Amino acid sequence: MQERMPITIGEDTVDKFIAYCRERGLDAFMLVADKNTAAALGDRVHTAISQQGWDVLYCVLDPDGLHTDGTAVTRVLRAHDAAPRTFVSVGSGTITDTTRFASHRSGNPFISFPTAASVDAYASKTAAITIGRLKGSVVCQAPEAIFTDMPTICHAPRFLTASGFGDLVSKLTSTCDWKLTHIIWGSDFDEGIYWRGVSAGQSVAAVIDGIRAGDTESMQVMMEGQFEGGFCMADFNNSAPASGSEHHIAHVWEMLFHWDGKEGLFHGNAVGVAMLMSARWYAQLRAMTREDARTALERTIIPPREEQEAALRKALPEIAEEVIASNPIYLQLSEPETFERIKTRILEQWDEIQTCANKVPDPDQLREWISSLGGPVTPQEIRVSAEETRLGKDFGLYLRERFSINIIRSLFGWE
């Protein structure tokens, strides 16, 4: 386990941030927010820094059309004067990851002020960023410290809380996808981190009534669960513990929106909707016997590599070559020897696969939790069309090195 950064949760966090900086001799800053988060907390942080007589640059981005991408990073770097500074992010996922990337690439540390319980990666050292046209997780750095102002968190728009709940409770599917990848594909795995991820997802489900009421203690549990999700990724040096089929499907939708210039798709909402798809496939998996699986796998035909590559180029031309170059698992399954080996492995490990699948809650339960917070539960509610839904499902399985429930769904011929 890596050494943890200090995390301050409660009230008066701006004063505690100033004390932290004074103790460490920090006196030059690059403060990053957007217009919404500046009003919520960023202006207060800026005033507190300025009152100390410290050197601070303040970059306030326009939230309209804002994404964690090359455009946002360039705007931050243009505002930076290339002098050594501690970057300070005041915002949720987009601002935090933009600052994380810009600070790392400019050789500066950063400190995080979350403004909403909307994402689970505040403590992570990876940034979910779109480079060119491809969205992916890029290794950067974790914040040196996190200051969580609970009044700001509790007063954040409720739709952001619902989005964060979807992102965090999805650990109940992503962790199982990670374990399946280990069981079937033989990838690296850490049992301790796995259970920490499961516990993070379960913790937020246990306090859902309090989250619905905006109770401070419950919201703090949610924030702590989100920090733990980031720690799991940091400790494993990979997003695998917290990003499974539900994230990969959501990433396809997010890229499609980005490419088409469409706005309004929040990451956690997309993940929550895709998680319900994954949970339904896990329910189908639990209903199968080993003999059912044997029969289904004997009927499975994996498209040849050339056919898969052509389908990728047609469906997602913007990123097809990068995806193909990564040699994803489903492409490798087109090799008969590889597929035969995997079929054998699935049947041999069937009991362990079922044990893993039993950790995923029933999709109806997950749907009820999200709905009770006002979150979306269908693609239509997040303005994802039937065609975009299909593209996410059929091509999300190519995005990461996971033998996910989406790949199993494809092998067994489920919709």
- Convert the pLDDT of each residue in 56-107 to its tens digit: 999 999 998 898 889 999 999 999 999 999 999 999 989 999 999 999 999 9
pLDDT of residue 3: 66
Task: Record the tokens describing residue 333, joined without a space.
Answer: 């399954």
In contact, 171 and 198? CB cutoff 8 Å: yes
So what's the pLDDT on residue 400? 87
Name the residue ranges covered by the structural domains of the chain.
7-156, 161-412
DSSP symbol at 319 = T
* Region label for 237, one of left (φ > 0), alpha (ψ between -120 and 50) or beta (otherwise): left
Measured from the Cβ of residue 183, the count of other Cβ atoms closer than 10 Å reads 20
Write the pLDDT tens digit of every residue in 150-198. 999 999 999 999 999 999 999 999 999 999 999 999 999 999 999 999 9
In sequence order, which residues have a C-beta less than 8 Å from that of residue 242 and are 6 or more positions away? 120, 121, 124, 171, 174, 175, 197, 229, 230, 232, 233
Q: Is the pLDDT of residue 1 over 50?
A: no
Mean pLDDT on 47-52 = 98
Fold observed for domain 7-156: Rossmann fold (3.40.50)
Q: How confident is the model at residue 394 (pLDDT cuts 50, 70, 90)?
A: very high
Report the predicted TM-score, pTM, of the whole model to 2 decimal places.
0.90
Phi, psi of 110 (to 5 degrees): -145, 155
Distance CA 271, CA 7 (A): 26
d(CA 33, CA 61) in angstroms, rounded, equals: 6
**pLDDT on residue 2:** 55
Residues 44, 48, 49, 53: what is their CA dihedral angle, to the nearest 10 degrees? 140
Contact of 389 with 257, CB cutoff 8 Å: no
pLDDT (mean) for 107-131: 90
Which H or E run includes 86?
strand 86-91
Closest CA to 140 of 106, 97, 107, 104: 104
Would you state the pLDDT for residue 182? 98
Helices (H), 261-319: 267-286, 290-299, 305-315
At 267-326, the pLDDT tens digits run 999 999 999 999 999 999 999 999 999 999 999 999 999 999 999 999 999 999 999 999
Residue 303 contacts by C-beta under 8 Å, 6 or more apart in sequence? Answer: 311, 334
Q: Give the tens place of pLDDT for each residue, 195-249.
A: 999 999 999 999 999 999 999 999 999 999 999 998 998 899 888 999 999 999 9
Q: Does the pLDDT value for residue 257 go beyond 80?
A: yes
Which element (helix H / strand E) includes 40?
none
Place of tokens 């839904």: 389
Tell me how long the chain is.
415
Least confident residue range of 143-152, 219-228, 256-265, 388-397: 256-265
- The answer to whether 237 touches 301, Cβ cutoff 8 Å, is no
CA 354, CA 122: separation in Å to the nearest integer?
A: 32
Contact 2, 234 (CB under 8 A): yes
The mean per-residue pLDDT over the stretch 371-381 comes to: 97
- CATH second-level architecture of 161-412? Up-down Bundle (1.20)
For the chain, the average pLDDT equals 95
- Cα–Cα distance measured from residue 24 to residue 278, given in angstroms and rounded to the nearest whole number: 46
